[in-house]
Amino acid sequence: MTKHENIAKALKARLSELTNRVVEIDSELRKPLSADLEEQATDLENQGALEAIETDPVVTVRENFVACDVLSQLQRVMDNPRFLLTGECEPLSAGRRVRIYATRGPYVCIYPQDTITPCKWTHEKVLSK
């Protein structure tokens, strides 16, 4: 098998796994609530979290910039770009699609469109709808 065939096989297997997971999640969302009030509360919390993920606005990065784990890191980098050398921030390339998780003034906490990784802070000036 060639390298490309191996990659294609792995991608097809992953697609199958993800498709099955979507079916499982969909069936969970359609299940009636439990008779137990504590379980109902947990179910409703989880459903709210899933709905929030789906409604987070998706935006496009319009210019190359950075995203940092902590807001103070981003502010340091913006004040003095030499702090980029510490490796605390990651590059954010133009054209990338991201979801907005939270805002604080002109700063926005984002995560990649297709995941729920911990959000990273960037400046709203580099994003567009």
pTM for the whole structure: 0.52
Using one digit for the tens of pLDDT, what is the confidence trace for 68-113? 888 888 888 888 877 776 667 888 889 988 888 888 888 888 888 7
Residue with tokens 């504590």: 38
Residue with tokens 């580099």: 126
Q: Are residues 51 and 62 in the same domain?
A: no
Q: Are residues 38 and 96 in the same domain?
A: no
Total domains, the chain: 2
Q: Are residues 62 and 46 in the same domain?
A: no
| The predicted structure's pLDDT at residue 47 | 60
User: Domain containing 27: what range?
Assistant: 3-55
Q: Are residues 51 and 63 in the same domain?
A: no
Q: What is the DSSP string of 23-91?
A: HHHHHHHHSPPPSSHHHHHHHHHHHHHHHHHHHSPEEEE-S-EEEESSHHHHHHHHH-GGGGGGS-EEE
- Residue 53's pLDDT band, with cuts at 50, 70 and 90, is very low
Q: Are residues 43 and 80 in the same domain?
A: no
Q: How far apart are the first and last CA of the chain?
A: 43
| The predicted structure's pLDDT at residue 71 | 85
Of how many residues is the chain composed? 129
- Residue 52's pLDDT band, with cuts at 50, 70 and 90, is very low
3-state secondary structure at position 96: coil
